[in-house]
Amino acid sequence: MSPADSASATRTRYVAPSAAGSAWLAGAHLTWLHLRSRQVPGALAALAGCAVVLWTALTFHWWHGAGLAATELPMLIEGCAAAIIVVTAHNPFGEPERATGRWLPFLRLGTALALCGAAIGLLALGAAAAYRPQASVYLLSGVLGIAENVMGFAGVGLICSLVTGGLLAWTGPLAYMAICQFALVASYSEPLTWAARPATDRGGWIAATVVFAIGLAVFTVRGPRVRPSGE
């Protein structure tokens, strides 16, 4: 656990809500504190950085080959986005936070969903900004590919967080992404390497969605592992 993390999260001045909107205000306040404790603003900035890198990669042709090989670099960026999302799973308060009430699972669920949505939106924005089909500058996999990979990789990471804890959960998406990279290069097409398949592949979508749903469900219910070291 990081003392400074918890300190910064609780340092916000508490404002007593009015009687009328007290429930909403308290809810919003709780949500904001939860997001801050997970460093969500930092995560959003990092995701925006990923979108800028995607825009640059598309504009300046930072990849080798055509066809599926052209999705190598976008896949790396999508893996990075998923890794950033799952790192926000870390809870700086340790185990005591689990005794704070019934809203915690919903906050976890909402944060993960919102960040996935933000990542897909920002990356799609980056791809759209670079879109110049007459100069062959466009994202081959399209927004579908972004959504499939971000959700699937994030699902792997959320499952990983149950074992490694939130701060090390990035290892899952990166390792899985590396497997998909080599599946792509070597033209392997196992069902579970969905990122190496075309974005319109139904089997790939089913696999990615199932992994994301399972990851989200177990993460919502159990939360990330809290290690004795706080990390």
Partner 1 sequence: MTAAVAGGALRGRPRSSPLVARILRMEIRHSAFVWGLPLLAVLFLYDPFRTAVGYPDLWPLRATVVLNKFWPDCVPFAAGFSAWAGSREGRRRVRDLLATTARPAWTRQLCSFAGTLAWVLAAFLAGATAVYVKTATAATWGGPPVWPVVAGAVALAAVCALAFTLGALLPGRFTAPIVAVGIMVVVLEAFRVSVNQSGGPVGVLSPDGVVPSNDSGLFYPVAPDVSIVQVIFFAGAVLGAIGLLGLSPRTGGVGWRGALAAASAGGARLRTVATAVFAAGVALAVIGFGLAGTAKMSVIEGTQIPLLHDSAADRPIPYTPVCGGSASFRVCVHPAYRSYLGQTVKSFDLVMSELAGLPGAPVRAVEVADRTLPAMVFGQGGDGVVAGTPPVYAFTMDNALALIPDPTQFADSFEQDVAHAVIVGPIGRMVPVPGGGGEQFQPDLGNPAQQAVLNGLLKAIGSQPYPNGGPGQPQAQIAQQAQMAAAAARFAALPAATRHAWLVANLAALKAGHLTLPQIP
Give the residues lining the site for partner 1 (CB under 8 A).
2-4, 39, 42-43, 46, 49, 53, 57, 62-64, 72-73, 76-77, 79-80, 83-84, 87-88, 90, 164, 167-168, 170-175, 178-179, 182, 186
Of the pair 92, 204, the CB lying nearest partner 1 is at 92
Which residue's CB is nearer to partner 1, number 42 or number 191? Answer: 42
**Residue pair 65/140 in contact by the 8 Å Cβ criterion:** no
Q: Kindly state the smallest distance separating residue 179's Cβ from partner 1, in Å.
A: 6
Distance in Å, CB of 231 to partner 1, minimum: 8
Based on CB atoms, which residue is closest to partner 1, 61 or 222? 61
Q: Please report how close the Cβ of residue 230 comes to partner 1 at its closest, in angstroms.
A: 8
Shortest Å distance, C-beta 104 to partner 1: 19
Nearer to partner 1, 171 or 189 (CB): 171
